Structure 1
Amino acid sequence: MHIPSRIATRLLLCCAVAAAPAFAFAQAAPAKPAVGAQMTPAATYGKLLSGMEKEFVDAAEAMPEDKFNFAPPTTMGDFKGVRSFGAQVKHVAQANWYFFGGDMSEADGKAKSDAIEKLTSKADIVQALKDSFKQAHTYIGGITNENAFVMTAHGTRGGMAAFGIAHMMDHYGQMVEYLRMNGIVPPASRGSM
């Protein structure tokens, strides 16, 4: 499988962050493991996922319903054909089922993706996002030292987890820009200004 260099770079950064025991998200302040402590793959990826989930869901909830279909106008740059804010959220919900769906069949994955694509209200889209994060936590909770890097049909469990989290970061960055274009400070930035 060929991974484009920008995605490979994000994947490596995600893995480097996952390996750093001193890394902690400000929103979740559980006891920090002692230097040299062994962390399980599930705990490492779970911590990263929880931090990303908090930022992503908070950002999705911060955009008002009447702005959920916002996409930058082409007068502001080359934005022709970009996803709207709501479409960014739906895309990540769909992708989470791909990255973290585990043994989900291709048919079930397509049905899940199609159902999410049909959603139109903010409440339904945000709920689909939250449901996809529940699935992601279940998947990551099953990663062990023994199975983290065993090849499966889609890649290794550890690789899929890292790629899935990196994918969220890409779309989170786009959502932050959309929020700011609408005069909304992203929730993750509100306490640090």
Structure 2
Amino acid sequence: MKTPILSLLLALPLAAQAPAAKAPAAKAPAPAAEPSVGVAMDGTYQWVAGQFMGAAEAMPEDKFDWAPTQGEFKGVKTFAQQVKHVSAVNFFIGSQILGEKPPAEVGNPEMGPDSLKTKAEIVKYMKDSFAYARKAIQSITAKNGTRAVKFPFGEGPDMTPIGMATLLAFHGMDHYGQMVEYLRTNGIVPPASRPKPAAH
């Protein structure tokens, strides 16, 4: 007659051979959604906005109305007019992408609103314009990004929201390049060109 202890010892090998209960399978993480066309384009445009705004804020108040005079510079925009022009175009093109009226005065987009005089007023207008332009760019999708939009500057071929977002980017950098020359002529290194502090 087997003792209870002996029975238990004989049963242990059989228990070890029994298949273990399967743990519930972990759910595979859902694949990350691809960014929309607009979000992807804004990834580049925010870099444009950062460089441009940094340059605008670097110019001192007393030089904001400065423009070069030596050489063939008759009639060129002042530094302030460069900033107001790009900002007005940001509002104007952004509104074309979104299909609505600009949320701020654009005046003559070539020069921007005459009502803005001080550096503080112009810088605020500029920051608001880049925020609005980024909102417009982020609204672009694969579905709405290729729709026809009337050429916004008089006569010209129809554009698309994707094309207008591209225009916003290269237009901002075009004038950024001019502003860099204005800054350097006045002895100011643009923030984007300053040496970065060494990492510790």
1:104 aligns with 2:100: yes
Gaps of 5+ in 1: 1-36
Shift of the alpha carbon at 1:141?
1.2
C-alpha distance in structure 2 between counterparts of 1:175 and 1:192, whole Å: 21
Q: Which amino acid aligns with 1:112?
A: E
Higher gyration radius (CA): 2
Shift of the alpha carbon at 1:192?
6.0
Shift of the alpha carbon at 1:148?
1.1
1:48 aligns with 2:44: yes
1:141 aligns with 2:147: no
C-alpha distance in structure 2 between counterparts of 1:64 and 1:45, whole Å: 32
Among 155, 172, 177, which residue is 1:173 paired with?
177
Greater displacement, 85-94 / 153-162:
153-162
Q: Which amino acid aligns with 1:173?
A: G
Q: Which amino acid aligns with 1:55?
A: Q
**Structure 1 match to 2:149:** 152
Among 110, 131, 146, which residue is 2:128 paired with?
131
**Structure 1 match to 2:191:** 187
**Structure 2 match to 1:11:** none
Deviations 1:106-143, CA, capped at 9 Å, x for gaps: xx58x711273320100000100001011111101110
1:94 aligns with 2:65: no
Q: Give the secondary structure class of the aligned counterpart of 1:100.
A: helix
How many pairs align? 152
Q: Which amino acid aligns with 1:78?
A: E
Among 103, 106, 115, which residue is 1:113 paired with?
106
Q: Give the secondary structure class of the aligned counterpart of 1:128.
A: helix
C-alpha distance in structure 2 between counterparts of 1:134 and 1:89, whole Å: 15
Among 56, 63, 66, which residue is 2:62 paired with?
66
Q: Give the secondary structure class of the aligned counterpart of 1:60.
A: helix
Shift of the alpha carbon at 1:45?
1.3
Shift of the alpha carbon at 1:40?
2.8
RMSD, aligned CA: 2.0
Provide runs of 4+ in structure 1 moved above 4 Å: none
**Structure 1 match to 2:74:** 80
C-alpha distance in structure 2 between counterparts of 1:126 and 1:92, whole Å: 12
C-alpha distance in structure 2 between counterparts of 1:145 and 1:104, whole Å: 20
C-alpha distance in structure 1 between counterparts of 2:132 and 2:34, whole Å: 25
Point out the structure with the larger helix share: 1
What TM-score, normalized by structure 2, do the two folds share? 0.71
